Structures are given as structure tokens and as C-alpha cells.
């Protein structure tokens, strides 16, 4: 009681302590664990040239701009990250140059006569492809009047404004740079000469495959030398990691299939008894269509059996493409493959009997006019059809197949109507008068109308659990890479695969694809606690995207860590071994080759002398030679009839003999050439400027601690 009394006397002090404790708890939660692996982090996702990227703002952008998008969630985040990086860089550069966008300019880009490409993309009418001006104006009015907007829409509009500002500032930067692009006359003339000067030359090509390399042993020095020569191809701009992984596919057992088969056998009885096949199929994961298909369109594994049925009979269950099916034949008959017809439409208002009655009466009246020969069908269509296309096609629908028209219209043309007949039919669009001009048969074979019920053949929960237990046992009993590999290799259905070099923010792994599970595996690979040859402590579950069951279990081993900088020889040896060997073989042959004539070289190496004609200095590919810039350069550099030294190219060793060179004359229109070259340069500016800014900027990327 004394304690309670003290608390009452110091109530406000206690309340203050509780408040401070709660605030401390919230701050601890905000700055504490929550990222992958429980890493301690702030809300700072990264820094770009001194500007912070805030996690909450980033998430708001994701929610507002991609709420209903079907795009992969990690792909969305990658796009948003790139936007934030580019936005920060562009704004920094624009501020330094004094570039900005006024409020009036922004309004004009949103609602003016020439809106931003962002508006044109986001607010285009799907039918016309044009911006929906009326809809935009209604939003403008609401914004100007201060009317309350839907919170989701307001957030979307805010993010859209960011996109417009970024895009417009980028255009302004690009425009400034483009104004400085200039192509001098000498450059235009030189470009013209390089493109239009031609050379003819004879050559001998000794392919690398023809060169004996049995006495050549490659050393790490050879690989390092090759990598240094092509350094840009073998440098890591950031750390990458490689893993080996084993995939255990989960497939339905024979017991699972039998259970599905028994279920469908029971369902088949009701399927045969129903009079409403379409509804029955819909309610039982099946399919129904009023379209008649050819025999070849029936399931291949049961084609003959289904074709032999009488209407009302069913065949199955049978397996087909991962499903167990029962097919019911509803009808079979010979029908046209296509029809040519004309029509007159009188539109109706849905759920309005008076509208339907009026349209029907009107169609009846013009039917009488046509049948009495007072006017042609075409004239009646032009005068009375309410089909918008009638003004141009005069009611002529041309040739069409059964699937092109709504069911009621199609049934008249293909099933009940006769060639030359005139028929009235009501559809969702209104009341039609149809004239069948021609019914075209490719053949008179029967076509088939079917309904199908079925079930995907998926492993039961028992089967999934059994496979999971099997994988758990393997990973529990084999905690070293060597023993795990031996256990995996002992299973003929499983083998190790190797990932490509992965970066810490990647979310897709080879054959495993993208998604949260692949992302989780990559997060483990880049954990500070994960070392080479470590085995994943987790069994990664991959889910079938259609039927939502565990379709594979994956275990992984970290294979290699590639630090930033020049890759290790070990990491690329398999990739470049052929190229390094070819270089060594080429150098060896070139040093040993005695060149007296092309014919002697050809005879000694069992190849032929060939000729290349009209080869431009800028040619990227020459028939019979391939992509060989060294060869083309030598052909233009050497004097006619002289014989080159051996040239080690990309595909073999060459010896060439120039025959003649046709120098290009002076260009006729230098201003046009200058303009063309400048335009080509300008087309790359927008992309190049961003790439250059990214290379120069100090960018810190903390995304991997959040996702």
C-alpha cells in the first residue's frame, strides 16, 4: 500500500519516465535490427554526392508509384534506386549551373498543350493513345480549388512531379551540352574517307583450331598478361561472390497422382450428368469455349479417344502437360473455317427492354425493305447502321473466324445460318441484321466443341515434407563442402550448379530466377559471417508461382569471393582459357612462319588463298574473315602487292597481300556530313552524361541492409 501511495504522489514523474522509455524503445527499433541478418542500421539507404536517400521516402515512392504494378518487387526497387541516384546527380549539376523549374513551368508540363513525356506516358487513353485532357483538367481544377484528393492519388501525383522535374532538368542539361557539340570539317572529311575508301586484298587464314598447341603449357603469368591487356573486361567495380547450389525438385508421387485421379473419377460422374457444362467447368478449375476446334487442337495424348466420343460422353482422367484432365465432348460437326459477312447494327441500352424492343422493330422494318428489293444491304448499312465503322466499311466485316465475334453473332454465321441468308440476332452490342456472303471450308472434316475439368498434378504436403526431411538429413550429416558434394553426387537427380558472380544487391540467380527466396540466398552469401566453403544453414524453399506449393528446395555453398579490382586468375581461368591458348598458339606460329608467298603459306598449312573485295576501313565484319580490325588496318596501310608479316587476329593467324585501294574522293556535301555526325553524337549525350556523373560521384549504397 505504501508503494502504491508513493506512485500516486509522483504520478507525473512516473508518466514522464514511461514516456522516455517508450521513446527510447521506438528509437532503438528504428535504428536497431530489421535489416537482413539483423544488421544495425539507420534510415539512411545511401548517399549520393552528399544527398541522403531516406528509407521512409524510398518506401513511399514504392507504394505510390508501383502499388498496382505487376513488376517484380526487387526490379521495382532497383528502378526507384536508379531514379533517386540520377535525380540527386542531376539536381546537383543543375544547381551549379543555375538551372531550375518554376512553378508555372511545372504546371505547364503537367497540364499545358505540350505536356511532359511522363504525363503523355501515364495519362494516355488506352484506346486512342492520346493524353486524356479532360481527366487532367479535372485534376487541375481540384488542385487549384484546394479540393481534398484521394490520399493514394495525392501520393502518386507527388511522385509523378518528381519524375517530371528530374526528366526536365536532364533535358535542360542535355540541351546545354548539345549546343556545344561541333564537328569540324576535317573530321567530317576523314570520317567520309574511312567509310568510303575501299580495298581489295588476298589473304591466307590459318584458324587457331588448325594450329598445334600440344607443347604449350599455360601459366598464371599468361592469364594475368591477357587480363591486363583487356583490363576493363576483367575488373570488378564492386565485390562479387559465387556460390554452388544443389536443387532438389519436388514432384508428385504416384500416390499423389492416384489420389488426384480418384477425385476426378468421382467428379466425372457429375460432369456427365450436368446440363450446364460451362458453369460446371468454371466451378471445377476447368475450361469451356463455344469455339469449335480441329482434331489437331485436341489434347495430343487423348486425341483419338476424344474424337471417337459421341456428344455427351467424356474421356479421362488422363495426364497432359502437368495436369490430370477429363474432357467432355459437347458437339462435333463440320463447320466453316471462316465466313464473309455484312451487318447492320442498332445499338441498345443495357437492361432497358424498351431500347431492345425499339431496335428489334427497326431491324425488322429494314429487313422487309431489303427482302422486297427496295434497297441494297450496303445502302441500308450506310444509312442506318450504328456501328461506328459502318461509315468506312459500309457494313462489310470481311472474312473472319469463329473466335473473332461474340458468341451469338458467331453461332449464326458458323452454325445455324446458311450462305446467302439474312438473319437477325441480339448481342451485348445491340440487335444485328447479318447477311452471310460466303462460308469457306478448308475441308469438311468434323470440328469439336469440348469442355474440360481437371486438376494440376502437384505434390501433396506429405510428399513436400518427405523431400524437405531428405534435404534436412543431407545438410545435417554433411557439414563440409567435400562430404556434401559427395552426398549430392550420389543422387542421380541432383547436381551442383554454379551461380554467376553476384553483387550484394542482386536478386536473381541463374536457373532459380528472381524473388524473395533468391534474394535471401544472396543476403546469406554476403553476410559478414559467411566464409568460403560455408554451407547455408537454411534450406531455401522455392514456390510454384501458379499452384503455390514448394516446388524445389535449395542448399548452397559459398564458392568464391571476388574482391573489387582485377579479378583473380582462378575466377576467370575457365572463361578465358581458350582465348589465352589461341593467343599463345598464334604467337608461336607467327614467330615460326616463313613468309615468301601466300601460296607457300597456304600450302604449308593446308589452307587456301582467298580474296576480299570492296572492304571499308570501318567494316566490322568481312565475309570469310570475320571481325578482324588488325587485318583491315594492315590492308590499308601496306603498299599494293607487298606481303604482310603474320598477323595474329581474333580467329587465327593471317598473312595478306593488298591488291589495290580505291581512295574516296572529296565529299560533295560537307555541311550535311557535319550535321549527321553531330546528330549522332548528340543522341548519346543524355545517356553518357549520366554515366559520367555516376562514375565521378561519391555514392554509398546501403540497400542490402534493408532488403
Return the percentage of the chain with pLDDT > 70, whole number.
94
Torsion over CA: 549, 555, 561, 567 (sign): negative
* Least confidently predicted of 335-349, 429-443, 567-581: 567-581
Surface-to-core class of residue 656, CB atoms within 10 Å of its CB (0-12 exposed, 13-18 middle, 19+ buried): buried
Residue 376: predicted pLDDT: 92
Q: Does the structure show a pLDDT above 60 at 15?
A: no
Question: If DSSP codes are grouped into helix, strand and coil, which group holds residue 567?
Answer: coil
Is residue 367 pLDDT above 50, yes or no? yes
Q: 524-554 in b/e burial notation, b at 16+ Cβ within 10 A?
A: bbbeeebeeebbbeebbbbeeeeeebbbbbb
Per-residue pLDDT tens for 615-673? 999 998 999 999 999 999 999 999 999 999 999 999 999 999 999 999 998 888 999 99
* DSSP-H helix ranges across 407-460: 407-411
Cα(453)–Cα(674) distance, rounded to whole angstroms? 68
**Could you tell me the three cell numbers for 16?**
514522464
* Dist CA 275 CA 428 (whole Å): 24
∠ CA 411-413-416, rounded to 5°: 60
d(CA 531, CA 560): 9
CB 344 within 8 A of CB 380: yes
The residue written with cell numbers 488422363 in the block is: 318
Three-state secondary-structure class, residue 318: strand
Which of 547, 693, 512, 603 lies closest to 204, judged by CA? 603
User: Torsion-angle region of residue 249: left (phi > 0), alpha (psi -120 to 50) or beta?
Assistant: beta
- In 10 A of CB 175, how many CB atoms? 13
Place of cell 481534398: 148
CA-nearest of 32, 34, 33, 35 to 24 is 32
Extract the C-alpha cell encoding 122: 501515364
Strand, helix or coil at 312? coil
Mean pLDDT of the chain: 90
Q: How confident is the model at residue 68 (pLDDT cuts 50, 70, 90)?
A: low
Q: How far is the C-alpha of 162 from the C-alpha of 61, rounded, in Å?
A: 10
- At 547-573, the pLDDT tens digits run 999 999 999 999 999 999 988 888 889
Any idea how long the chain is?
707
User: Would you list the DSSP string of 587-616?
Assistant: HHHHHH---S-HHHHHHHTT--EEEEEEEE
pLDDT value at position 14? 40
Band of the pLDDT at 391, cuts 50, 70, 90? confident
Instruction: Compute the distance between CA of residue 151 and CA of residue 154 in angstroms, rounded to an integer.
Output: 5
From CA 469, how far away is CA 476, in angstroms rounded? 10
Instruction: Give the phi and the psi of residue 652 in degrees, each rounded to 5.
Output: 170, -170
What radius of gyration, in Å, describes the C-alpha atoms of the chain?
37
Contact 684, 691 (CB under 8 A): no
Q: Which tens digit of pLDDT belongs to each residue from 181-234? A: 999 999 999 999 999 999 999 999 999 999 998 899 999 999 999 999 998 899
User: What CA–CA distance (Å, rounded) separates 156 from 227?
Assistant: 48
| DSSP-derived secondary structure letter, 295 | G
Neighbouring C-beta atoms of residue 510, cutoff 10 Å:
12
* pLDDT grade for 33, boundaries at 50, 70 and 90: very low
Amino acid at each position: 500500500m505504501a508503494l502504491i501511495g508513493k506512485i500516486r504522489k509522483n504520478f507525473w514523474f512516473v508518466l514522464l519516465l514511461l514516456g522516455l522509455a517508450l521513446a527510447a524503445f521506438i528509437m532503438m527499433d528504428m535504428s536497431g535490427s530489421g535489416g537482413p541478418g539483423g544488421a544495425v542500421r539507420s534510415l539512411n539507404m545511401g548517399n549520393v554526392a552528399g544527398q541522403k536517400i531516406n528509407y521512409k521516402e524510398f518506401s513511399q515512392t514504392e507504394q505510390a508509384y508501383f502499388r498496382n504494378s505487376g513488376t517484380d518487387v526487387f526490379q521495382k526497387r532497383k528502378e526507384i534506386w536508379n531514379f533517386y541516384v540520377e535525380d540527386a546527380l542531376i539536381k546537383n549539376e543543375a544547381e551549379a549551373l543555375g538551372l531550375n523549374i518554376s512553378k508555372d513551368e511545372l504546371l505547364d508540363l503537367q497540364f499545358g498543350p505540350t505536356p511532359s513525356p511522363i504525363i503523355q506516358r501515364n495519362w494516355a487513353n488506352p484506346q486512342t493513345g492520346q493524353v486524356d485532357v479532360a481527366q487532367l483538367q479535372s485534376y487541375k481544377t481540384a488542385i487549384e480549388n484546394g479540393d481534398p484528393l484521394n490520399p493514394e492519388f495525392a501520393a502518386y501525383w507527388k511522385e509523378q512531379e518528381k519524375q517530371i522535374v528530374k526528366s526536365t532538368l536532364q533535358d535542360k542539361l542535355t540541351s546545354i551540352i548539345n549546343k556545344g557539340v561541333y564537328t569540324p570539317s576535317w573530321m567530317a572529311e576523314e570520317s567520309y574517307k574511312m567509310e568510303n575508301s575501299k580495298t581489295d586484298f588476298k589473304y591466307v587464314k590459318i584458324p587457331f583450331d588448325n594450329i598445334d598447341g600440344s607443347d604449350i603449357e599455360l601459366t598464371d603469368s599468361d592469364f594475368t598478361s591477357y587480363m591486363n591487356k583487356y583490363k576493363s573486361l576483367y575488373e570488378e567495380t564492386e565485390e562479387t561472390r559465387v556460390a554452388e547450389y544443389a536443387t532438389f525438385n519436388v514432384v508428385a508421387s504416384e500416390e499423389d497422382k492416384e489420389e488426384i485421379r480418384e477425385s476426378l473419377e468421382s467428379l466425372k460422374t457429375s460432369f456427365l450428368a450436368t446440363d450446364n457444362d460451362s458453369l460446371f467447368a468454371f466451378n471445377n478449375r476447368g475450361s469451356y469455349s463455344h469455339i469449335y476446334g480441329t482434331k489437331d487442337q485436341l489434347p495430343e495424348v487423348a486425341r483419338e479417344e476424344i474424337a471417337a466420343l459421341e456428344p455427351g460422353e467424356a474421356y479421362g482422367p488422363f495426364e497432359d502437360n502437368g495436369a490430370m484432365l477429363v474432357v467432355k465432348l459437347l458437339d462435333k460437326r463440320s463447320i466453316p473455317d471462316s465466313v464473309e459477312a455484312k451487318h447492320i447494327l442498332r445499338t441498345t441500352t443495357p437492361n432497358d427492354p424498351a431500347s431492345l424492343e425499339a431496335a428489334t422493330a427497326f431491324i425488322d422494318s429494314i429487313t422487309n425493305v431489303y427482302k422486297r428489293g427496295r434497297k441494297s444491304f450496303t445502302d441500308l448499312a450506310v444509312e442506318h447502321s450504328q456501328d461506328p465503322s459502318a461509315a468506312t466499311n459500309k457494313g462489310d466485316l470481311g472474312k473472319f473466324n469463329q473466335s473473332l465475334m461474340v458468341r451469338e453473332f458467331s453461332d449464326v454465321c458458323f452454325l445455324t445460318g446458311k450462305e446467302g441468308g439474312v438473319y437477325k440476332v441480339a448481342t451485348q452490342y445491340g440487335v444485328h441484321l447479318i447477311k452471310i456472303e460466303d462460308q469457306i471450308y478448308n475441308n469438311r472434316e468434323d470440328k469439336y466443341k469440348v469442355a474440360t475439368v481437371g486438376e494440376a498434378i502437384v505434390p501433396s504436403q506429405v510428399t513436400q515434407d518427405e523431400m524437405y526431411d531428405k534435404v534436412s538429413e543431407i545438410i545435417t550429416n554433411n557439414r563440409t563442402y567435400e562430404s556434401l558434394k559427395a552426398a549430392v553426387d550420389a543422387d542421380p537427380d541432383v547436381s551442383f550448379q554454379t551461380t554467376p558472380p553476384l553483387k550484394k544487391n542482386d536478386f536473381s540467380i541463374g536457373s532459380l530466377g528472381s524473388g524473395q527466396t533468391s534474394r535471401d540466398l544472396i543476403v546469406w552469401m554476403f553476410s559478414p559471417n559467411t566464409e568460403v566453403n560455408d554451407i547455408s544453414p537454411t534450406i531455401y524453399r522455392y514456390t510454384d508461382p501458379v499452384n503455390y506449393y514448394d516446388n524445389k528446395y535449395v542448399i548452397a555453398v559459398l564458392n568464391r569471393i571476388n574482391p573489387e579490382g582485377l579479378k583473380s586468375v582462378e575466377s576467370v581461368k575457365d572463361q578465358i582459357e581458350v582465348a589465352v591458348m589461341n593467343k599463345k598458339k598464334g604467337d608461336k606460329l607467327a614467330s615460326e612462319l616463313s613468309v615468301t608467298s601466300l601460296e607457300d603459306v597456304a600450302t604449308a598449312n593446308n589452307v587456301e588463298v582467298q580474296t576480299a573485295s570492296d572492304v571499308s576501313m570501318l567494316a566490322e565484319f568481312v565475309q570469310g574473315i570475320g571481325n578482324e580490325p588488325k587485318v583491315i588496318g594492315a590492308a590499308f596501310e601496306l603498299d599494293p602487292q607487298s606481303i604482310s608479316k603474320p598477323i595474329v587476329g581474333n580467329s587465327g593467324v593471317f598473312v595478306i597481300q593488298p591488291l589495290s585501294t580505291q581512295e574516296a574522293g572529296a565529299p560533295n556535301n560537307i555541311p550535311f556530313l557535319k550535321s549527321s555526325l553531330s546528330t549522332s553524337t548528340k543522341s548519346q549525350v543524355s545517356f553518357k552524361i549520366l554515366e559520367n556523373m555516376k562514375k565521378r560521384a561519391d555514392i554509398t549504397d546501403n540497400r542490402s541492409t534493408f532488403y
